[in-house]
Structures are given as C-alpha cells and as structure tokens.
Amino acid sequence: MAKKFLDPHEVKPILGTEGWEEMYPFYYQFSKTDKERMEYESSQLWFYDGLHYPEPHYPFDLIWDEAWYLALSQYNTRVFMVPPAKGIDHRIVNGYVYITPIGIADPKEIESRIPLFQKRAGYYYENWDKIYDKWVDKTKELIVELENISFPDLPEIEDESIVFDSKGLSSGYNLGIKYDELINMGFKIWQYHFEMLNLGYAAYVTFINTANEVFPDIPMHNLTKMVSGIDTVMYRPDEELIKLAKLAVTLEIDSLIVSQKKFDTLAKELKKSDKGISWLNALEKARYPWFYISTGTGWYHHHISWNDNLDIPLSSINMYIEVIKEGKNPSRSTEKLIKERDEIVEKYINLIKNEDQRNAFEETLKIARRVFPYVENHMFYVENWFHSVFWRKMRELAKIFANNKIIEDAEDIWYLNRFEIKSLIDDMVRAWATGIIPAGRTYWPEKIKNRKVIIKKFQEWTPPPALGTPPEVVNEPFTIVLWGVTTGVLKNWLRSLEGTTSEKITELHGSPGSAGIVEGKARVIRTVEQLDQLEKGEIMVAPTTSPSWAPVFTKITGAVTDVGGPMCHAAIVCREYGLPTVVGTGNATSVIKTGDLIRINGNEGTVKIVESR
C-alpha cells in the first residue's frame, strides 16, 4: 500500500488549460515560490471537497468557498478557541477545491485555550435556543436586505432627484457600491452560518463518541435517528408540494394540473376558474420562502431554486397527485417517526447497566438534540434561501453587463471572479460617465471564451480523492462527521491508488450511509443537469447529492457517493427514503461506469462491481 498521496505540487497540468490559475484568487494556489509554505503544503493531507463541489469551480462561484474558508476557520481558531483545532485551509487544483484541517500539536497551547473555550462555547450551549431564535431573526433580516438590493441599468440621463434631493452620488458610483454590498452580504451570511455550526457539530460528535464507547458497534444511522428532528425546516418544501397535491385533488382540479408540464400554460388555465385561482393562491403562499429550495446544493450558480423555474416543483406536485390517486398518502408520518425514534432511544438506554455511562449517554443525547435543529435547518436559510436570492441578484447585475455589450451573454458572468467583476464595473461606469466605449468590451469576452474551454477540460478530469501526506490518525471531528474522512477511509483511498495502476478495481469501500443491500444498474451522475438521465430502478453514483433532488429518490433503488460521511446530505436523505447507500467511497464516479451491474451494501459500506459494462 502506498504511504503518501501525490504531492500537491506535482499534480500534472491539463493541456489546453494554461493560465487557469488567474481565474481564482492567488491565495488558492499551491505555492511555487515560498519554500516554507511549500513544505507546509507537502506535509498536510489535502482532500478533495467533493461533498460540496461535485464539479470544478466557475470563477465567480468560488465566493462561497472563500466565505466558509474564512468563517469556519475564524470561529475555531480565534472566536471559540476550539482547543485542538484551528481552521481548514483551502487550495484549488485544476478547478477543484482541496481542503486540509489544521490541528494544534503543542499540548501547552491546547491547554491554554481550554478555559476560553469553556467560557465561550459554554455560553452558547447554555443559551442555545435563545441564540438560535435570534439567529433566525437576523438571518431573515439579511435576506430581506438582499431582496431589497436592485440593479437597474445605467440611465442615459440621471434622474432629476439626484439634483433636487441634492444626493451628490451617481448611479455609476452606486452600482459599484451595491455590488460591494451584495458581495459583503454573501460573506456575512456565512459568518452567521458558522456562528453555531461548529459548536453544533462538536456537541453532536460528542454524543456519537459517548454512544460509541458504550455501544462500540452501534450503526451510525441509529445514532442520527436518535437526534434527528422530525419537523425540520428542510422537509418543509417537500411537504408544501404534498399539501398542494392534496389540495388539487380536493378541489378536483388534479387532472387539469397533471395534464400540464409547463407552469405558465397551467396558470393561464387555472385562472379561468375560482378553484384554480384559490389553488394558485395557495401555491403563491407556499413559494415564500419554501420554494427557495435549491435544485442542487445551492453552491453553484446553476443550482436554481424552484422559484426560478416553477416547472420543477410542478413535476413533483404531479408525481404526488399520482401517488394520492393510487390511494396512498405521500406524507411522512411524523407521529410514527417520533414513536420509532423514542422507542429506539429507550431500548438502547435500557441496555446500559452502568449508571455513569447511562448519565453520560443521556446528557450528551440531550445536548445533541438541543443543537440539532440548527445543524439541520441552517442549510435552508443559507445554502437554499439566501443563495437562491443571491444568484438571482447576480443575474440582474449580469444583464446590465450584457446590455452594455461588455459580455456576450448574461450567463457568461460566472466565468469571471468577484475581483474581476468589480473591475469590469469600474471600467463600465467610467465609460458610461465619460461617454466612451468601455475597455472591457473585447477584454472580457476573450477571457470568457478561453475559460469555457478550460472549465470543460476541468469537468472531464477526475480529481484524486486526496493529495499530500496522510496523518497517523484523523481526529478532527468535522472532517470525520461531515466528509467521512477517517483513518480507515484514507487507507482505502491509498489502496485504490494502487488498484488504478495494476489491476481493475471490483470493490469499493466507504461508510455505511443508509442500511440495506441492493443490486442494480449503475448510472453515474456528475451534474444536476444529468439527473433526468436516471431511469427507474437504477443505482445513482454521484460525487455527492442534495436533499432537494427529491423526485430522484423515488426513482432510484440506491446511491453511492464519492464523498461524505454518515451525516452528509446524501446519507440523511437516503435514510429518509430507505435507500441502501454507501457514502465516501473516494472515487466511485471514476471507477464505476454507467451500465455496470453493482451491488451496494449499505450496512457495511461496500460497493461491488458485479459485472462491468
């Protein structure tokens, strides 16, 4: 077995992508000049963050990575003073983000951080519910602020209010300011995002560890079941669809609705009747905010929300109508789930004979449950709701660039990074102010054309699961729970590293995501757009998945992901749907080919290629 992964400085460039580095901030590059930094980089384990990024980064989309790079790290290192863990460092290789957790090795330094952590984190744990309520309020406020930002095109003649209100500021100046505000809001929401998340995970991980001490073999999904909320915000969008489907049946307009695939034509039909109008009103009410759920993870500009394209929720509503017409109830039975959860907890607790152990189990379970609503729900507010509105605002802005013929198409904007867009605006408003042709008119389209080729090449490249030097043991809690990167997983990755050069891999190892064994035809899905290729009964093999791929989960019989731990989105959703799932296999999307017959064992976390296509 190999001892090390490829050194990050030795990753081979892809021909035809020369100059790709300028698409991203300079601090995302593995160093080529700073010897000390290079040494540090070689000594770390860098793993590909496929959990968040199944695709290479478009230059602008890296904003969210920049946002959490700062936010997660600062809370660990400087705010809550997590004793043994600093931040998570980030780099980019051929468009793919690699990350590495920074630990603290010096026991004295750890020691000195303990009292600060106790005081600061303790305050959050004690006042968790109150702080969470406040968190929801300020997050919603920020979203309102975001909604209120608008990007009107630069006027030929400034409005006279500038003169008569003696404002003293022009639309051109304001445009630059508003762009800054938009970007800052993006960073701000991520400051909020990590305000409570690290502590939430720490409490959750503690429960997992405590439970593992008592029950060393307890399946992770049972632990998750014990802490999971039943009425979580993340399930609301889907529940709203079910409500609308039920309402359609009650109003006896279901056959009309099912007959339409396009929302616009359907709306026209519905407006002809009172019943139709009242259904449309109900839909309108559900849209804010619940249709701000992303069709992907929310991390990419093309992960549009239901609100951006109502045909998407409509197809799900139609699916639910069919289920209802078959006489079935598509709603989750929350009562049953609660009863099941409570029974499992009680039975496990009854098995603990030692009183101290039982106390520790009960107390850590209690705190895990206290923090869990945040852990589950923040995703809706940030990655779904905020991001969806943010992308829409960026598109408004991009339209101005297109109108001014600085870029050919508004959707080209994503090929420029946030700094470049700022300078594009600077050039554009100066040209507008001066009454001349902007310099960017030929500069940006040329770059964008090149970058389209580069991104395409990046998409065809399979990033290795890890680079650099693996540590003796992985013990950074977030790395383990979220990304599923454990010492054992690293070993498997190292093993498969050899497999690719010598023999064909027929078995992959990951973490059990959701129990059950299933055999079926594999379908490799790399991007959201490929989702409609899935056929009923297939097993989805994806870099990672999103909870909002709801209709997909009714189609497939199982799922395999490259990245993710037992707490990743894919694992949670698949458990909800009872689909056998293996997460964190490292390289399933490159080893498994569409059409392969595979058998996945969600109890043990193994995937076997039974028959290659």
Partner 1 sequence: MRELNQLYTIWYDELRGSDYGLVGKKNANLGEMLHAGIPISPGFAITIHANHDFIEKTGIRSKIETLVKKNGEATDENIKKLSKAIMSEIESADIPSEIEEDILENYHRLCEKCNLDAVPAAVRSSGGVSMPGQMETYLNIRGDKDLIHYIKRCWSSSYNVEAIHYRVNRDMSVLFNIGVGIPKMVHSKVSGVIFTLNPINGDFSKISIDASYGLGEAVVSGLVTPDTYLIDKVTLELIKTKIGSKEIKCVYETYGSDIKKIDVDDELRKKSALTNQELTYLSETAVKIENYYGKAYDIEFGIDEDLPFPENVIVLQVRPESIWNKKKDMSGKAGKPADVMNIILNNLISGIKAG
Q: Which residues sit at the interface with partner 1, rule CB under 8 A?
A: 82-85, 110, 114, 117-118, 121-122, 125, 202-203, 205-206, 208-210, 212-219, 222, 344, 347-348, 351-360, 362-364, 366-367, 473-477, 480-481, 486-489, 515, 603-604
Element (H, E) at 92: strand 85-93
In angstroms, give the least distance from the CB of 116 to partner 1.
12
What does the block give as tokens for 239?
A: 């529940």
In angstroms, give the least distance from the CB of 566 to partner 1.
10
CA distances from 78 to 116, 253, 379 (A): 10, 57, 24
Q: How far apart are CA 613 and CA 608, in angstroms?
A: 14
User: What's the one-letter identity of residue 168?
Assistant: G
In angstroms, give the least distance from the CB of 5 to partner 1.
18
In angstroms, give the least distance from the CB of 49 to partner 1.
19
Cβ proximity to partner 1, 284 vs 362, nearer residue = 362
In angstroms, give the least distance from the CB of 195 to partner 1.
17
In angstroms, give the least distance from the CB of 47 to partner 1.
14
Cβ proximity to partner 1, 160 vs 355, nearer residue = 355
Cβ proximity to partner 1, 163 vs 351, nearer residue = 351
In angstroms, give the least distance from the CB of 56 to partner 1.
29
User: What's the one-letter identity of residue 111?
Assistant: E
CA distances from 477 to 88, 201, 276, 482, 567 (A): 12, 8, 51, 8, 12
Q: How far apart are CA 192 and CA 136, in angstroms?
A: 10
Cβ proximity to partner 1, 126 vs 158, nearer residue = 126
Cβ proximity to partner 1, 107 vs 152, nearer residue = 107
Cβ proximity to partner 1, 227 vs 360, nearer residue = 360
End-to-end CA distance of the chain: 28
Q: Could you give the angle at the alpha carbon of 57 between the alpha carbons of 530 and 181, nearest 5°?
A: 115
By DSSP bridging, strand 517-524 and strand 597-601 are antiparallel
User: Of the candidates 79, 369, 411, which has an alpha carbon nearest to the alpha carbon of residue 224?
Assistant: 369
In angstroms, give the least distance from the CB of 477 to partner 1.
6
Q: Could you give the angle at the alpha carbon of 505 between the alpha carbons of 504 and 506, nearest 5°?
A: 115
Cβ proximity to partner 1, 43 vs 209, nearer residue = 209
Cβ proximity to partner 1, 101 vs 186, nearer residue = 101
In angstroms, give the least distance from the CB of 68 to partner 1.
20
User: What's the one-letter identity of residue 55?
Assistant: E
Q: Residues with Cβ < 8 Å from 538, sequence gap 6 or more?
A: 520, 521, 522, 523, 555, 556, 557
Element (H, E) at 582: strand 581-583
State the DSSP string of 501-562.
HSS---EEE-EEEE--EEEEEEEE--SGGGGGG--TTPEEEES---TT-HHHHTT-SEEEES
Q: How far apart are CA 109 and CA 105, in angstroms?
A: 8
In angstroms, give the least distance from the CB of 290 to partner 1.
32
Count of Cβ atoms closer than 10 Å to residue 408 Cβ: 13
In angstroms, give the least distance from the CB of 204 to partner 1.
10
Cβ proximity to partner 1, 55 vs 476, nearer residue = 476
Under a CB-based contact definition with an 8 Å cutoff, are residues 592 and 609 in contact? yes
Cβ proximity to partner 1, 63 vs 563, nearer residue = 563
In angstroms, give the least distance from the CB of 207 to partner 1.
9
- DSSP character for 78? I
In angstroms, give the least distance from the CB of 585 to partner 1.
14
- DSSP character for 437? -
Q: How far apart are CA 9 and CA 44, in angstroms?
A: 12
Cβ proximity to partner 1, 118 vs 533, nearer residue = 118
Cβ proximity to partner 1, 81 vs 146, nearer residue = 81
Longest Cα–Cα distance in the chain: 82
Q: What share of the chain is helix, strand, coil (3-state, %, to 5)?
A: 60, 10, 30
Cβ proximity to partner 1, 310 vs 375, nearer residue = 375
Q: Residues with Cβ < 8 Å from 271, sequence gap 6 or more?
A: 277, 280
